[in-house]
Chains A and B, each alone.
Chain A
C-alpha cells in the first residue's frame, strides 16, 4: 500500500517532526562519541529509523495512549517528551536517570507519567504488555490506545505471534509497528522469515497490515494515524511495517563486518533526514541557514546536557538492591535543565 495523495500533516507538525529528528540525530552522534571515549558502556541507536519513529509517535494522544517502544526508539522517546538529558544520564549510568537509575543499558526508556512502558533487552517481550494495556483500556472503558514498536528481529519471536493473536481474537485497541531495517544484528530478513513482508502476517490475525516506506514522514503519519483511530474507534488492532535503513552497526559492540561496503553505503544513502529536509526546503518551510542553525543548536543543546550529566554522581553501591519490592520510597528522578520547561517533544512546547 502506498500513502494517500496530498499532505495529511500540517506544515507546523512536519517541521516539528524534523526538529525532533535533528535533535535525535545529534544525541545519537554524541552517544557514539561517549562510548568510543569509554564513558558510556554500551550504545545502540536507531539512526535511519528516526522519521518512522517520530512521525508515528506524533499520532498518539500524549500521556493518554500508552507507548511500548524498544531499545532503538530514541525518536519515539524524544517525540513523546523524554529529554536528551535523561537519555545521557542513562547512557552514563548516573543515579539520577529517571528511567532506570542507571540500571538498564542505554536507551531503555521507562516513564509512567508519559505512559512509556519499560524497555526490555529481551526483544518482543513488550508486545504482550502492549496488548495487556489495550485490554486494561477495554476493562476500564476508556479510549486509550496502546502503540507498540519493535524491530524485524522481534517479529520472529513467539511472543510476537502470541501478542498479535490475543489482540486479534479480542479486537483490542493496539497498533503494532515493525521498524523493519532488513537485518537482525547480522541475520538478513530472508533468514528471519519466509514471507516477503512482516505485514503479510496480519492476515493471520484478522487485522489490516500495511508495509510502507518508513523514511517518508507523511506516509508514516498517515498510516499510523489511521491505525490509531481505528483502534480508538473499537475496530481492533493493526500491523504496520515501516521499512527503514539501519545506518549504524547493531550496537557499539558490533563491528558490522557482515555487511559489505556497498550495503552500508546503501543504508546511509537512504537516510531519511536529508529527504525530509529537502521536502521542507522545497516547500519553503525551511531555509538552509535556518536548518544549519537548527542542527547547530541541537548539537549545542546535547553537549550542554552531556556536561551536566557527566557532573552527576553515580549511584551509591549499597543502593543496588533497592526497589526490588513495593514500599521503598520513590526514586528522586532527574531535575531537568531549565531549557526543558514545557518540553513536549513533537507535540510542541
Chain B
C-alpha cells in the first residue's frame, strides 16, 4: 500500500497489518466480540469481515472463555487465530484458558501441539475508562512460562510486532495501549518488517540516566527527557517492546552506559515488571550501578473514572522528570 504522507496511527497500522496477514496466509482468522460488522470498538478490524467473510472474521458472543478456548482449539488444528478481547480488563475470565491451556500446551505435550494464538486487547488508563476499561495486566501474564507478552509503543512497532506475533508458533499476549491508538501518526515504511519478539529498542540515546520502559511509559519518558535535556541531563530511553521475555542484553547495555536506572510502567508498582527487571539488575549488574535503581508505576490502586483521582494514581511526566533529576544528581 502507499503510505499516506502524514503517516498512520497505531490503529491504522494494526488494521493494515492484520489485513495483510489475512491476505497472505489463509490460516489467519480473527475472532471476538464486535470484530465483524462493527469492526471492533476501536476499529482495528474495520472492514475485515466484508473483505474476508463472516467465517474468517467471526463475531462471537460476549464469551471470553469461548473466544480464548476456541482460538486454542482452532490453533491446534492448524489455524493462526487472532483473538480480540474488547478490553484487557475482560481477559480475566479467559485467564484459565490462556494460562492453564495455551501456555502449557506445548510443554505438557512434549512439543507435539502448537498454539499459535495472538490474544489481543486494548490496555491502559488515562482515558477516564474507570476500573473496567483501564487496567494494565502485563505482569499477570509475564509471570507465566510459555507465554510471550508484547506491548508496542509506536505505530511502526505495533505493526512489526503484530506481524511477528501472528507468525510466532507460540501464544502471544499482545497489549495495545488505547491512549496510543490515535495519539500520533508515523510514516511506517517497513510494511513487511517483522520486529522480533524479545528485542528492545533504544528510543533515545543519552549517557547520564537510563529509563527502561515500554508502552505508554515511552511517551512519558520522552517528555521528561526533553525537560531534563534543557537542564543538561541526557536521558537514554530503552523501549523494551516485549515485557516477557524482556531483553536482558539491552538492559545490560544501557546500565553499563549510564549506571543510573529508572524503571517505568503504567502497571501497578508492586509485583510489576519493573520489580523483575530491578532484581535482574541487582543480581547481574550490581557493579555497574552508580545509584539505587528507581521504579515508577501506578500507585497500587484501581483506576477511577474521576479525572483528578485517576491522574493521582497514574505515573506522569512530573514524577518521571523528578526521578531522572534525582538519579542525575546522585
Interface on A for B, CB 8 Å cutoff?
Answer: 66, 68, 98-101, 103-104, 108, 110-112, 117-118, 120, 122, 125-140, 146, 158-159, 162-163, 165-166, 169-170, 322-331
In the complex, the answer to whether B109 meets A110 with C-beta atoms within 8 Å is yes
B235 at the interface (CB under 8 A from A): no
Interchain CB contact (< 8 A) of B108 among A118, A325, A327: A118
Top 3 closest A-B pairs, CB basis?
A128-B69, A132-B73, A129-B73
List A contacts of B146 (CB < 8 A). Answer: 324-325
In the complex, the answer to whether B65 meets A325 with C-beta atoms within 8 Å is no
In the complex, the answer to whether A331 meets B74 with C-beta atoms within 8 Å is no
Nearest CB of B to A92, in Å: 15
* Residue count of chain B within 8 Å CB distance of chain A: 45
Most B CB contacts (10 A, CB to CB) among A117, A127, A132 go to: A132
In the complex, the answer to whether B61 meets A165 with C-beta atoms within 8 Å is yes
List A contacts of B93 (CB < 8 A). Answer: 158
Nearest residue, chain A, Cβ from B69: A128
In the complex, the answer to whether B109 meets A129 with C-beta atoms within 8 Å is no
Interchain CB contact (< 8 A) of A139 among B29, B64, B65, B66: B29
List A contacts of B76 (CB < 8 A). Answer: 112, 117, 129, 132-133
In the complex, the answer to whether B58 meets A170 with C-beta atoms within 8 Å is yes
Interchain CB contact (< 8 A) of B100 among A125, A130, A329: A125
In the complex, the answer to whether A323 meets B74 with C-beta atoms within 8 Å is no
Q: How far, in whole Å, are A225 and B70 apart by their CA atoms in the complex? A: 24
In the complex, the answer to whether B74 meets A118 with C-beta atoms within 8 Å is no
Q: How far, in whole Å, are A170 and B66 apart by their CA atoms in the complex? A: 12
List A contacts of B169 (CB < 8 A). Answer: 326-327
Nearest CB of A to B80, in Å: 11
B residues 53-69 near A (Cβ < 8 Å) are: 55-56, 58, 60-61, 63-66, 68-69
Q: How far, in whole Å, are A162 and B66 apart by their CA atoms in the complex? A: 5
Q: How far, in whole Å, are A146 and B74 apart by their CA atoms in the complex? A: 11
In the complex, the answer to whether A103 meets B56 with C-beta atoms within 8 Å is no
Nearest CB of B to A101, in Å: 4
Nearest CB of A to B96, in Å: 6
Binding stretch for chain A, among B9-17, B110-118, B221-229, B249-257: B110-118
In the complex, the answer to whether A129 meets B107 with C-beta atoms within 8 Å is no
Interface string of B111-133 (1 = CB under 8 A from A): 11110000000000000000000
